[in-house]
Structure 1
Amino acid sequence: MITKDEILNLENTLYGAIQNRDTEVLDNLLHTDLLFIIPSGQTITKEMDLQTYREGNLKVNEITPKVEELHIIADLAVITLQMELKGNYNNEPFEAKYKYIRFWKKFPEGIKVVGGSGMAI
């Protein structure tokens, strides 16, 4: 079973890893078979996501999350949230608000993100 507190703690760990471009922590949080739809509409894999951080293409300086819904369904958690992000992508500054859905699933090795989507709002 997964608890809401576990998911909220993992979300906070995820935000820290994104801001610090900590690919080791991201590697541990993202499932090998992750599929995520980014705001452009492209579907990316775990490796594609990690590569973005390794290459320094995405730098997020500020993340302000606001959780909307968090549902636990047995060994799966579904969270929806709004996030204000500030940073730069390919050296272009950005400041935007996004809506995300993320799916966390419990495995023997821990709880990992298996899928999600983000869109600008």
Structure 2
Amino acid sequence: MDATRKAQILACEKSLLEAMKTSNVELLDLLLHDDLLFNGPTGETATKAMDMKNYRSGNINLHTVEASDQMLSSIGDDVVVAVTVEIKGNYLGQEIDGKFRYLRVWKLFENNWKAIAGSVVALSSDS
């Protein structure tokens, strides 16, 4: 993967985590594709509209969102990111304090990278 593309995706990932932490719906709206599908840790599939509604409602309040163990893979015009994220806070009425492994697919649309798909699994406490 060329250095420019890698830098762009790393910047998008950083912006996405910051938007999650601060519930910045304007930034989330820019980074997530309208047709995004995201599989959650219990197997449910969410859309961008569902995710945005949860952030707008104030039902997501995260105070720690820290990435580690990031891997990137460029496949054609898309970039796949696997990353471990430590999350602490409240998500839809549930207290969260753990590490999660995210997988995201980024695609370039008119000079803007957008997440088009993703998933997350909870890691055991010894991971």
TM class, shorter-length? over 0.9
The Cα of 1:109 is off from its aligned counterpart by 5.0
Unaligned runs of 5+ in 1: none
Report if the CA contact (8 A) 2:72-2:79 is conserved. yes
The Cα of 1:89 is off from its aligned counterpart by 2.1
Change (3 A) 1:18 1:41: same
Match of 1:59 among 40, 61, 70: 61
CA–CA separation in structure 2 for the residues paired with 1:55 and 1:18: 13
**Aligned equivalent of 1:22:** 24
The Cα of 1:41 is off from its aligned counterpart by 1.0
State the one-letter code of the partner of 1:68: Q
Report if the CA contact (8 A) 1:67-1:79 is conserved. no
State the one-letter code of the partner of 2:76: A
**Aligned equivalent of 1:44:** 46
Aligned positions, number: 121
Matches within 5 A, 1:1-121: 3-108=5-110, 110-121=112-123
Q: Identical aligned pairs, as a percentage?
A: 38
Report if the CA contact (8 A) 2:54-2:92 is conserved. no
Report if the CA contact (8 A) 2:25-2:52 is conserved. yes
Unaligned runs of 5+ in 2: none
Q: Which piece of structure 1 moves more, 104-113 or 28-37?
A: 104-113
Q: Report the TM-score, using the length of structure 1 for normalisation.
A: 0.93
